[in-house]
Amino acid sequence: MTLHIAGAGMAGLCAAARARELGLETVVWEKGDRAGGSMLLSSCVVWRYLDADAFRQECPHGDPRLQAQLIERLDEGIAWLRSLGAEVVWEETGNPRTLGVRFDPRSLTDALVRAAGEVRLSEAFPDDAAPLLLATGGFQGDRELVREHIAPAGELLLRANRWSTGDGLKLALARGAGASAGLGEFYGRAMPAPPAAVPEERFVELAQLYGARALVLDDAGEEFAPEQISWSETDLVQAIARRPNAQAWYVVDEEALAVEIRGRTVREMVLAARDAGGDVLLPNELGIDLPSTYAYAVHVVAGITHTIGGIRIDDRARVLDVDGEPLEGLYAAGADAGGIAAGGYASGLASALVFGRLAAETAASA
């Protein structure tokens, strides 16, 4: 039997490598002209919450069976990636809420490609391929789908590979699949707003990660941030998406500039935004009365990295129909499979790894 896999990113490559270990033939279809998807552009920290209860608290609307699988299966998945030769650059996440490692994204992609067998670049998957694993990386790249489900108040900045346009979701829905919770949610970052230039190789470096340290105003000068911004700031980024132009101003004082957040000071992030050509003003240039302790106002836009809702799956990565019954020969993993982190944020690479491998195991035992 040949397992067809749509997408040569994290989920698709993990599935292909695992399926081949289990004796299946595989073909990986890749729409883009390179393998690696958003994984190759990422910070590559593969992580989980400490236990299932913590996961539940952080992502209260996610499916608890999928969350339990992720907690149970991630550590062996990481060990397996190491065994394939992927290079670990940090042995911890630097976040006391989470456990995991940081891989070098190039080394991880290369290790997976070596193990994945046939990868057909620049070829979208054929609709009639069967059995089929959907691993196309979510729908953030499709403006229409984003407008329909997320309904931002302005143009979001696409902070992801440009090929993930919901092809997996469209096929699954056409075949009667159910949709997961969280279709209106996404994981992203505040990024320097236009006219800043934000090329994909600067997605990580240009993220503005200090919303919780800033006075956050929308383009009309109104303060709107959630009262308790979450540690990942995903809730703040989603809130920005719903303000005029999907943009905001992060106004920071001298004290905040010296604060270090995940290895960089706020000052460094502000200067990076300015270096990219973004609007970094003196607060009095905003035309509102602000205390003189404020040093800079940085114009940001909500950047979308991946969607959180998507295709409904079970804990063996089988696509479920609207009644919760598995659709024969159809699997989904990675950002195509939704509802794992609904209500919060969890590692997209981790779910791609765990459910990609699970999809291969389920297909091999079918």
Ligand X SMILES: Cc1cc2nc3c(=O)[nH]c(=O)nc-3n(C[C@H](O)[C@H](O)[C@H](O)COP(=O)(O)OP(=O)(O)OC[C@H]3O[C@@H](n4cnc5c(N)ncnc54)[C@H](O)[C@@H]3O)c2cc1C
Q: Which residues bind ligand X (CB under 6 A)?
A: 6-12, 29-32, 37-39, 41-46, 124-125, 135-137, 159-161, 163-164, 167, 203-204, 305-306, 334-335, 347-350, 352
Name the residue whose CB lies closest to ligand X: 9
Comparison of 209 and 295: residue with beta carbon closer to ligand X: 209
We find the least distance from the C-beta atom of residue 47 to ligand X, in angstroms, to be 7
Comparison of 256 and 276: residue with beta carbon closer to ligand X: 276
Comparison of 145 and 256: residue with beta carbon closer to ligand X: 145
We find the least distance from the C-beta atom of residue 282 to ligand X, in angstroms, to be 30
Write out the chain in H/E/C secondary structure: CEEEEECCCHHHHHHHHHHHHCCCEEEEECCCCCCCHHHHHCCCEEEEECCHHHHHHHCCCCCHHHHHHHHHHHHHHHHHHHHCCCCEEECCCCCCCEEEEEECHHHHHHHHHHHCCCEECCCCCCCCCCCEEECCCCCCCCHHHHHHHCCCCCCCEECCCCCCCCHHHHHHHHCCECECCCCCCEEEEEEECCCCCCCHHHCCCCCCCCHHHCEEEECCCCECCCCCCCCCCHHHHHHHHCCHHHEEEEEEEHHHHCCEECCEEHHHHHHHHHHCCCCEECHHHHCCCCCCCEEEEEEEEEEEEEECCCECECCCCEEEECCCCEEEEEEECHHHECCCCCCCCCCHHHHHHHHHHHHHHHHHCC
We find the least distance from the C-beta atom of residue 353 to ligand X, in angstroms, to be 9
We find the least distance from the C-beta atom of residue 253 to ligand X, in angstroms, to be 28
Comparison of 46 and 251: residue with beta carbon closer to ligand X: 46
We find the least distance from the C-beta atom of residue 120 to ligand X, in angstroms, to be 9
We find the least distance from the C-beta atom of residue 69 to ligand X, in angstroms, to be 16
Comparison of 21 and 104: residue with beta carbon closer to ligand X: 104
Comparison of 229 and 346: residue with beta carbon closer to ligand X: 346
